[in-house]
Amino acid sequence: MTYHYGQTSQHDCLYTAARSYPGGVEALAQRLGMSASVLYKKLSPGVTSHHLSFEEATVIMDLCHSVSVPDALSALDAQAFRLGKICIDIPTTDGGDIDVEEIQRLVFKAVAQLGDAVAASTDALVDGHLTEQEMRAVEPKLRALVQTATSWLQRMKAKSKADAGKLLHKIMRKKEAA
């Protein structure tokens, strides 16, 4: 019997990522300190005697992600989808001054991505139906928009925090001078 792997099962996604790890499941098992046989059983949704712990699943995703395995984190996305949630990358800020022009670039990028997403959605829904193929074309555009909007929000928060600190410092200096 051949098992058909899907994109919405966290088990399938994790197994697919593990197989794509350089050296395959065998190399990954060695990194995890377990035999390949045990890891294969833990990764197989049909085997009920062996189960991955949360930590093992996270380490597998982390190891796969660290070597740029395609869809290394898709198991996390599948799990979130199952629970009605989504995962997005946390944007980083360097803690320094946030340039207003950087924020404006993110705004313009978000607007452009919104246009792309609206165009793709409109094209996909023109006949009143949405196929899986059309959804595969629309979804990345929407995910990119969410990521950009999240970066925009994080940078706005960082700018607000930095500017509040500067304002407080300025007020304190005026009081000291008086």
CA distances from residue 47 to 17, 24, 38, 115 in whole angstroms, order as listed: 18, 19, 11, 46
**What distance in Å separates the CA atoms of residue 48 and residue 24, rounded to the nearest whole number?**
22
Domain ranges in the chain are 10-82, 100-177
Read off the pLDDT of each residue in 153-166 and give the average, rounded to a whole number.
84
Q: What is the arithmetic mean of pLDDT over 142-150? A: 91
- Residue range 23-30: mean pLDDT, rounded: 97
Nearest to 159 by CA among 107, 103, 106: 103
The token pair at 94 is 């360097």
50/52 Cα distance (integer angstroms): 7
Note the residue count of the chain: 178
State the Cα–Cα distance between residues 74 and 88, nearest whole angstrom.
Answer: 11
CB 34, CB 9: distance < 8 Å: no
Cα dihedral 134, 64, 48, 1 in deg (nearest 10): 60
Q: What is the dihedral of CA 113, 137, 90, 43, to 10 degrees?
A: 180
What's the mean pLDDT in 79-90?
A: 83
- Which residue's entry shows tokens 């410092």? 169
The per-residue pLDDT for 3 is 42
pLDDT number for residue 160: 87
pLDDT grade for 85, boundaries at 50, 70 and 90: confident
